Structure 1
């Protein structure tokens, strides 16, 4: 059985001179909170820092292109705070909202012009002069991998981003883009949880495990579906939660942390009480048998 993780000391190397906290705070809902004041945003960040969670996950599209500016208030109010965290953001989705309200339809844009303009907007809104990690948010059917790769390499070389990665890419998408880059693609942020266990068997995790890429897991609580309702899976989660004296969320996180691929769960909530419990999953050391009990419940049948 693995020992519980001390997230204050457990850091994950992402690139030369850059490491992330084992758990990541996802800020996709920060612009939707009833309270978006600087003091409330700062309280969320401080609640994360108190647990050793230093990595904050954003995207330009979150909050209809407003979430980065909401977070940026905290850095503009206290510039020293920027040195205590790592900022992740994404670009590449153009939706008819906010700054793109006039576009005809939602689409992807991974052109050099769009990527560079998006980074400049993110830097301005976040109140910083560099991003720790920039992700291409979705695979783009019209991506010119040489143009996209050159744009990312140029941003790394210019110091505007410390590293580049992708989100929701399949292995072949990663390989295509990487083939045109000098800088490594350091991570892929994918949907993976007890509500979506396909990456454990479809080759996605194996691909990144072979490359030794940390994988960022979005929606590790299944978009909240794992926290509600009753099923064979939630009953199994509740039994383990009782045994470890935690809640379902902690079991869902522990399931991901137990895997030998380095998975970084990205957890998002606007509740200060729930933020304070994000690290509970790191206190749970699931045995191999307990992990498989959860996995089989998620599959709906025993493994072959």
Structure 2
């Protein structure tokens, strides 16, 4: 599988998202290990977490699997995020859901993530959401210090608009090497609102969360879009979802889709999206179908 270089680290072209890890009926270390091994067998070596996933429980579920099979860690790049404080789990005492990009909170979150996941470093740490109260100099210095300490290899952001990126970057020495944003056939605004162009200009690969748009693309069942996606998938021996992911992969900005499912059968087919070579007219055909009209 092709790999994408983000400054000091490389990620697999597709990333397995673990945000639903705690929703599975089987959260045993053996079952989590089976998911990881299925990904690795396809060349998917990058795994996306966040401290808040599963009400602050998903990282520990991964940690249980890595304790049971420690040899897996050296085959993986582990991504995680911090700064969302919700009144559940370890933050149950919080009065209101909020963001915290203070150095104290970031450092405490990183230490908790390292402990929960049973690892000695995080390959990529992302600030999960823009914080209206962010002191960019304090936050930037905290991220730089974490890289210098070896606890974190690289840093980036998630859900940031271009001006949020430049603000935080102005307080840092290390480069913010990615931004994880929502991108899909349904959530396609990033292609025209400057989000994609901003990062493409700066050679900053984007990560795309919810590349299948959750239930929204499922709701397209029976439409011309779903029929065309199914046809493209079938022509390449796979299904509609692989075609939807291939639509993102076609873009020259080197978008890295983050795909999450608890089904071992579905996990085993994630990489089929890479087998679809989409030409320009097919890309615009799908774009036209989701917009409901041709481009101007």
Q: What is the TM-score normalised by the length of structure 2?
A: 0.98
Where in structure 2 are the equivalents of 1:257-296 lying within 5 Å?
257-296=249-288
Aligned residues: 295
RMSD across aligned positions (CA): 0.9
Give 1:68's match in structure 2, choosing from 41, 55, 59.
Answer: 59
Higher relative contact order by CA 8 Å / sep ≥ 6: 1 or 2? 1
1:58 equivalent to 2:49? Answer yes
Q: Which ranges of structure 1 fall in alignment gaps of 5 or more residues?
A: 1-6
Match of 1:44 in 2: 35
Match of 2:204 in 1: 213
Contact 2:137 2:168 in 1 (8 A): yes
Q: What is the TM-score normalised by the length of structure 1?
A: 0.95
Where in structure 2 are the equivalents of 1:152-231 lying within 5 Å?
152-228=143-219, 229-231=221-223
Local SS of the residue matching 2:73: helix
* CA distance in 2 between partners of 1:243 and 1:79 (Å): 40
* CA distance in 2 between partners of 1:235 and 1:254 (Å): 16
* CA distance in 2 between partners of 1:226 and 1:241 (Å): 15
Local SS of the residue matching 1:265: strand
* CA distance in 1 between partners of 2:241 and 2:215 (Å): 9
Local SS of the residue matching 1:222: coil
Per-residue deviation at 1:32? 1.2
1:144 equivalent to 2:140? Answer no
Superposed CA deviations along residues 69-126 of structure 1, whole A, max 9, x for unmatched, are: 0001121122221110000000000001000111111100000000000000000000
Contact 1:24 1:266 in 2 (8 A): yes
Contact 1:197 1:298 in 2 (8 A): no
Superposed CA deviations along residues 177-200 of structure 1, whole A, max 9, x for unmatched, are: 000000000000000000111011
